[in-house]
Amino acid sequence: MIWVAVGLTAIGCYLLKLAGLSVPPRVLERPLVERVADYIPVALLAALIAVQVFSRGHSLAIDARALGLGVAVVLLVLRAPFLVVVFGAALAAALVRLV
Amino acid sequence: MTDAPLDPHQRTSIIRDSLGVGVATGAYGVGFGAVSVASGLSVAQTCALSFFVFTGASQFALVGVIAAGGAPISGALTAMLLGTRNTLYGLRLAPLLAWTGWRRALAAQVLIDESTAMSVTRETTRAARLGFLTTGISVFVLWNLATLAGAVAGNAIGDPRTYGLDAAVGAAFLALLWPRLTTRRNQLVAAAAAAVALATVPVVPAGVPVLAAAAVALLAGVLTKDEPR
Protein backbone atom coordinates (compact mmCIF):
# COMPACT_ATOMS: atom_id res chain seq x y z
CA MET A 1 0.00 0.00 0.00
CA ILE A 2 2.86 2.38 0.79
CA TRP A 3 4.51 1.54 -2.55
CA VAL A 4 1.24 2.36 -4.36
CA ALA A 5 1.14 5.74 -2.60
CA VAL A 6 4.81 6.36 -3.44
CA GLY A 7 4.13 5.58 -7.12
CA LEU A 8 0.99 7.73 -7.30
CA THR A 9 2.73 10.64 -5.60
CA ALA A 10 5.71 10.37 -7.97
CA ILE A 11 3.52 10.33 -11.10
CA GLY A 12 1.18 13.05 -9.83
CA CYS A 13 3.94 15.40 -8.68
CA TYR A 14 5.88 14.95 -11.94
CA LEU A 15 2.82 15.66 -14.10
CA LEU A 16 2.08 18.78 -12.00
CA LYS A 17 5.61 20.04 -12.68
CA LEU A 18 5.46 19.20 -16.40
CA ALA A 19 2.01 20.78 -16.75
CA GLY A 20 3.34 24.13 -15.58
CA LEU A 21 6.08 24.12 -18.19
CA SER A 22 3.74 22.90 -20.95
CA VAL A 23 0.25 24.38 -20.48
CA PRO A 24 -0.42 27.80 -22.07
CA PRO A 25 -0.28 30.33 -19.20
CA ARG A 26 -3.79 31.71 -19.78
CA VAL A 27 -5.33 28.37 -18.79
CA LEU A 28 -4.21 28.58 -15.16
CA GLU A 29 -3.13 32.16 -14.63
CA ARG A 30 -6.30 33.48 -13.03
CA PRO A 31 -6.40 35.49 -9.81
CA LEU A 32 -8.56 32.96 -7.95
CA VAL A 33 -6.35 30.01 -8.93
CA GLU A 34 -3.23 31.91 -7.88
CA ARG A 35 -4.71 32.93 -4.53
CA VAL A 36 -5.86 29.40 -3.70
CA ALA A 37 -2.49 28.02 -4.83
CA ASP A 38 -0.76 30.43 -2.44
CA TYR A 39 -3.01 29.43 0.46
CA ILE A 40 -2.86 25.65 -0.08
CA PRO A 41 0.69 25.13 1.26
CA VAL A 42 -0.09 27.32 4.28
CA ALA A 43 -3.31 25.44 5.11
CA LEU A 44 -1.88 21.96 4.52
CA LEU A 45 1.36 22.54 6.45
CA ALA A 46 -0.54 24.05 9.40
CA ALA A 47 -2.94 21.08 9.41
CA LEU A 48 -0.05 18.61 9.18
CA ILE A 49 1.64 20.26 12.17
CA ALA A 50 -1.57 20.17 14.21
CA VAL A 51 -2.30 16.51 13.47
CA GLN A 52 1.32 15.40 13.78
CA VAL A 53 1.91 17.06 17.14
CA PHE A 54 -1.45 17.16 18.93
CA SER A 55 -3.18 13.90 18.02
CA ARG A 56 -2.67 10.23 18.68
CA GLY A 57 -4.96 7.96 16.68
CA HIS A 58 -8.42 9.48 16.96
CA SER A 59 -7.85 11.48 20.13
CA LEU A 60 -6.13 14.77 20.85
CA ALA A 61 -2.99 14.61 22.96
CA ILE A 62 -0.42 16.92 24.50
CA ASP A 63 2.89 15.19 25.18
CA ALA A 64 6.63 15.46 24.50
CA ARG A 65 5.94 16.34 20.86
CA ALA A 66 4.30 19.62 21.92
CA LEU A 67 7.44 20.54 23.84
CA GLY A 68 9.46 19.69 20.72
CA LEU A 69 7.28 22.05 18.68
CA GLY A 70 7.78 24.80 21.27
CA VAL A 71 11.53 24.38 21.01
CA ALA A 72 11.20 24.55 17.20
CA VAL A 73 9.36 27.89 17.49
CA VAL A 74 12.12 29.31 19.69
CA LEU A 75 14.80 28.09 17.27
CA LEU A 76 12.95 29.58 14.27
CA VAL A 77 12.60 32.93 16.04
CA LEU A 78 16.36 32.78 16.62
CA ARG A 79 16.78 32.11 12.86
CA ALA A 80 18.41 28.71 13.37
CA PRO A 81 19.02 26.61 10.22
CA PHE A 82 16.50 23.92 9.17
CA LEU A 83 18.46 20.93 10.48
CA VAL A 84 19.05 22.59 13.86
CA VAL A 85 15.30 23.22 14.18
CA VAL A 86 14.38 19.63 13.23
CA PHE A 87 16.93 17.86 15.40
CA GLY A 88 16.59 20.42 18.23
CA ALA A 89 12.90 19.53 18.49
CA ALA A 90 13.74 15.82 18.44
CA LEU A 91 16.36 16.26 21.16
CA ALA A 92 13.95 18.20 23.40
CA ALA A 93 11.27 15.51 23.05
CA ALA A 94 13.80 12.74 23.71
CA LEU A 95 15.14 14.47 26.83
CA VAL A 96 11.71 15.10 28.34
CA ARG A 97 10.84 11.40 27.84
CA LEU A 98 13.92 10.42 29.83
CA VAL A 99 12.70 12.37 32.84
CA MET B 1 14.31 39.09 -24.10
CA THR B 2 17.90 39.15 -25.35
CA ASP B 3 19.98 36.02 -25.64
CA ALA B 4 23.53 37.34 -25.66
CA PRO B 5 26.26 35.09 -24.20
CA LEU B 6 26.85 35.54 -20.48
CA ASP B 7 29.96 37.39 -19.42
CA PRO B 8 32.31 35.18 -17.37
CA HIS B 9 31.80 37.19 -14.20
CA GLN B 10 28.00 36.82 -14.34
CA ARG B 11 28.37 33.12 -15.17
CA THR B 12 30.63 32.49 -12.17
CA SER B 13 28.34 34.38 -9.83
CA ILE B 14 25.22 32.48 -10.96
CA ILE B 15 27.01 29.13 -10.57
CA ARG B 16 28.40 30.04 -7.13
CA ASP B 17 25.04 31.24 -5.80
CA SER B 18 23.23 28.21 -7.22
CA LEU B 19 25.69 25.70 -5.77
CA GLY B 20 25.38 27.42 -2.39
CA VAL B 21 21.61 26.98 -2.46
CA GLY B 22 22.09 23.40 -3.66
CA VAL B 23 24.36 22.43 -0.77
CA ALA B 24 22.22 24.15 1.88
CA THR B 25 18.99 22.60 0.61
CA GLY B 26 20.39 19.18 -0.21
CA ALA B 27 21.50 18.77 3.39
CA TYR B 28 17.83 18.84 4.54
CA GLY B 29 17.64 15.42 2.94
CA VAL B 30 19.21 13.95 6.09
CA GLY B 31 16.20 15.18 8.03
CA PHE B 32 13.79 13.75 5.48
CA GLY B 33 15.53 10.36 5.41
CA ALA B 34 15.50 10.05 9.20
CA VAL B 35 11.89 11.23 9.56
CA SER B 36 10.67 8.95 6.77
CA VAL B 37 12.03 5.71 8.23
CA ALA B 38 10.80 6.86 11.66
CA SER B 39 7.33 7.10 10.08
CA GLY B 40 7.42 3.46 9.06
CA LEU B 41 8.69 3.61 5.47
CA SER B 42 11.55 1.37 4.36
CA VAL B 43 14.91 2.76 3.24
CA ALA B 44 14.02 1.84 -0.37
CA GLN B 45 10.65 3.61 -0.19
CA THR B 46 12.32 6.66 1.35
CA CYS B 47 14.94 6.84 -1.39
CA ALA B 48 12.33 6.27 -4.12
CA LEU B 49 10.43 9.30 -2.81
CA SER B 50 13.47 11.55 -2.99
CA PHE B 51 14.38 10.31 -6.48
CA PHE B 52 10.98 10.20 -8.17
CA VAL B 53 8.84 12.69 -6.22
CA PHE B 54 11.67 15.17 -5.52
CA THR B 55 9.73 18.00 -3.96
CA GLY B 56 10.42 18.27 -0.24
CA ALA B 57 7.13 19.48 1.22
CA SER B 58 5.16 16.78 -0.64
CA GLN B 59 7.56 14.08 0.53
CA PHE B 60 7.29 15.23 4.16
CA ALA B 61 3.49 15.36 3.78
CA LEU B 62 3.22 11.77 2.55
CA VAL B 63 5.35 10.37 5.37
CA GLY B 64 3.63 12.68 7.89
CA VAL B 65 0.17 11.33 7.07
CA ILE B 66 1.47 7.74 7.22
CA ALA B 67 3.16 8.48 10.57
CA ALA B 68 -0.18 9.77 11.93
CA GLY B 69 -1.77 6.43 10.98
CA GLY B 70 -3.50 7.75 7.87
CA ALA B 71 -4.23 5.79 4.71
CA PRO B 72 -1.28 6.02 2.31
CA ILE B 73 -3.71 7.23 -0.39
CA SER B 74 -4.72 10.23 1.79
CA GLY B 75 -1.02 10.94 2.10
CA ALA B 76 -0.57 10.77 -1.67
CA LEU B 77 -3.47 13.21 -2.20
CA THR B 78 -2.04 15.64 0.37
CA ALA B 79 1.37 15.39 -1.29
CA MET B 80 -0.11 16.13 -4.72
CA LEU B 81 -2.06 19.13 -3.41
CA LEU B 82 1.21 20.53 -2.07
CA GLY B 83 2.81 19.77 -5.44
CA THR B 84 0.40 22.13 -7.24
CA ARG B 85 2.62 25.09 -6.45
CA ASN B 86 5.28 23.65 -8.78
CA THR B 87 2.72 23.98 -11.59
CA LEU B 88 2.51 27.72 -10.94
CA TYR B 89 6.31 27.99 -10.84
CA GLY B 90 6.38 26.24 -14.23
CA LEU B 91 3.89 28.68 -15.70
CA ARG B 92 6.13 31.58 -14.74
CA LEU B 93 9.34 29.90 -15.91
CA ALA B 94 8.13 28.39 -19.21
CA PRO B 95 8.59 31.53 -21.38
CA LEU B 96 11.94 32.27 -19.72
CA LEU B 97 13.48 28.78 -19.95
CA ALA B 98 11.92 28.18 -23.39
CA TRP B 99 12.67 24.45 -23.49
CA THR B 100 10.68 22.00 -25.62
CA GLY B 101 10.52 18.22 -26.13
CA TRP B 102 12.74 15.91 -24.08
CA ARG B 103 14.69 18.80 -22.53
CA ARG B 104 11.47 20.17 -21.07
CA ALA B 105 10.47 16.68 -19.89
CA LEU B 106 13.79 16.28 -18.03
CA ALA B 107 13.84 19.84 -16.69
CA ALA B 108 10.38 19.30 -15.16
CA GLN B 109 11.79 16.84 -12.62
CA VAL B 110 14.03 19.52 -11.04
CA LEU B 111 11.30 22.21 -11.08
CA ILE B 112 11.15 22.99 -7.33
CA ASP B 113 11.14 26.00 -4.97
CA GLU B 114 14.90 26.52 -5.11
CA SER B 115 15.51 26.12 -8.85
CA THR B 116 12.62 28.53 -9.45
CA ALA B 117 13.98 31.09 -7.00
CA MET B 118 17.42 30.98 -8.63
CA SER B 119 16.11 31.44 -12.20
CA VAL B 120 12.88 33.42 -12.17
CA THR B 121 14.61 36.77 -11.67
CA ARG B 122 17.16 36.34 -14.51
CA GLU B 123 16.87 38.59 -17.54
CA THR B 124 18.01 36.22 -20.30
CA THR B 125 17.19 32.65 -21.21
CA ARG B 126 20.86 31.65 -20.88
CA ALA B 127 21.14 33.07 -17.37
CA ALA B 128 17.80 31.55 -16.32
CA ARG B 129 18.75 28.11 -17.67
CA LEU B 130 22.14 28.22 -15.96
CA GLY B 131 20.63 29.16 -12.59
CA PHE B 132 17.82 26.62 -12.98
CA LEU B 133 20.03 23.67 -13.95
CA THR B 134 22.90 24.36 -11.55
CA THR B 135 20.50 24.71 -8.63
CA GLY B 136 18.16 21.91 -9.68
CA ILE B 137 20.87 19.33 -10.37
CA SER B 138 22.97 20.14 -7.28
CA VAL B 139 19.90 19.95 -5.02
CA PHE B 140 18.82 16.70 -6.73
CA VAL B 141 22.18 14.96 -6.26
CA LEU B 142 22.74 16.11 -2.66
CA TRP B 143 19.10 15.64 -1.59
CA ASN B 144 19.21 12.02 -2.75
CA LEU B 145 22.57 11.24 -1.14
CA ALA B 146 21.50 12.92 2.10
CA THR B 147 18.18 11.04 2.10
CA LEU B 148 20.02 7.72 1.87
CA ALA B 149 22.37 8.73 4.71
CA GLY B 150 19.48 9.89 6.92
CA ALA B 151 17.39 6.80 6.20
CA VAL B 152 20.22 4.35 6.90
CA ALA B 153 21.15 6.18 10.11
CA GLY B 154 17.50 6.41 11.17
CA ASN B 155 17.00 2.70 10.53
CA ALA B 156 20.06 1.74 12.55
CA ILE B 157 19.09 3.48 15.78
CA GLY B 158 15.95 1.49 16.68
CA ASP B 159 12.73 2.95 18.12
CA PRO B 160 12.51 6.51 16.74
CA ARG B 161 10.45 7.72 19.71
CA THR B 162 13.42 7.22 22.01
CA TYR B 163 15.23 9.89 20.03
CA GLY B 164 12.22 12.18 19.67
CA LEU B 165 12.14 11.71 15.91
CA ASP B 166 8.32 11.71 15.99
CA ALA B 167 8.59 15.31 17.24
CA ALA B 168 10.98 16.12 14.39
CA VAL B 169 8.19 15.72 11.82
CA GLY B 170 6.12 18.59 13.25
CA ALA B 171 9.25 20.74 13.54
CA ALA B 172 10.11 20.08 9.88
CA PHE B 173 6.62 21.14 8.77
CA LEU B 174 6.84 24.26 10.95
CA ALA B 175 10.20 25.20 9.43
CA LEU B 176 8.65 24.87 5.94
CA LEU B 177 5.62 26.93 6.97
CA TRP B 178 7.51 29.63 8.90
CA PRO B 179 8.62 31.85 5.96
CA ARG B 180 5.00 32.03 4.77
CA LEU B 181 3.64 33.29 8.10
CA THR B 182 4.70 36.89 7.43
CA THR B 183 1.23 38.12 6.40
CA ARG B 184 -1.85 38.38 8.64
CA ARG B 185 -3.91 36.49 6.04
CA ASN B 186 -1.56 33.54 5.96
CA GLN B 187 -1.51 33.48 9.77
CA LEU B 188 -5.32 33.35 9.82
CA VAL B 189 -5.42 30.63 7.14
CA ALA B 190 -2.86 28.59 9.12
CA ALA B 191 -4.79 28.95 12.40
CA ALA B 192 -8.11 28.07 10.76
CA ALA B 193 -6.60 25.08 8.95
CA ALA B 194 -5.05 23.74 12.16
CA ALA B 195 -8.39 24.18 13.97
CA VAL B 196 -10.33 22.36 11.22
CA ALA B 197 -7.82 19.52 11.23
CA LEU B 198 -7.91 19.03 15.01
CA ALA B 199 -11.71 19.34 15.14
CA THR B 200 -12.10 16.55 12.57
CA VAL B 201 -9.45 14.18 14.05
CA PRO B 202 -11.93 12.35 16.35
CA VAL B 203 -14.62 11.86 13.70
CA VAL B 204 -13.01 11.05 10.32
CA PRO B 205 -10.41 8.46 9.20
CA ALA B 206 -6.77 9.42 9.80
CA GLY B 207 -5.29 11.43 6.93
CA VAL B 208 -8.62 13.06 6.06
CA PRO B 209 -8.30 15.97 8.58
CA VAL B 210 -5.37 17.35 6.58
CA LEU B 211 -7.34 17.13 3.33
CA ALA B 212 -10.33 18.79 5.04
CA ALA B 213 -8.04 21.70 5.93
CA ALA B 214 -7.41 22.28 2.22
CA ALA B 215 -11.00 23.55 2.11
CA VAL B 216 -9.81 26.48 4.25
CA ALA B 217 -7.44 27.46 1.42
CA LEU B 218 -10.28 27.28 -1.10
CA LEU B 219 -12.58 29.33 1.11
CA ALA B 220 -9.88 31.93 1.81
CA GLY B 221 -9.17 32.21 -1.93
CA VAL B 222 -12.85 32.84 -2.69
CA LEU B 223 -13.34 35.30 0.17
CA THR B 224 -10.26 37.47 -0.43
CA LYS B 225 -10.18 39.77 -3.42
CA ASP B 226 -6.77 41.34 -3.88
CA GLU B 227 -3.26 39.88 -3.74
CA PRO B 228 -2.62 37.95 -0.52
CA ARG B 229 1.00 39.02 -0.30
Domain ranges of chain A: 1-55, 62-99
What are the start-end ranges of the H helices in B68-124? 72-97, 101-109, 113-117
Residue of A nearest to B221 (CA): A36
- A18 and B105 in contact by Cβ < 8 A? yes
Kindly report, residue by residue over B131-190, the tens digit of the pLDDT.
999 999 999 999 999 999 999 998 887 777 777 878 888 898 898 899 889 999 999 999
pTM for the model: 0.81
Mean pLDDT of A2-20: 96
Handedness of CA A53, A57, A59, A61 (dihedral sign): negative
Cα angle A24, A27, A33; round to 5: 130
Interface test with A, best of B210, B224, B227 (most A CBs within 10 A): B210
- B79 and A9 in contact by Cβ < 8 A? yes
- A50 and B194 in contact by Cβ < 8 A? yes
ipTM score: 0.88
- B97 and A55 in contact by Cβ < 8 A? no
Chain A residues within 8 A of B62 when measuring between CB atoms: 5-6, 9
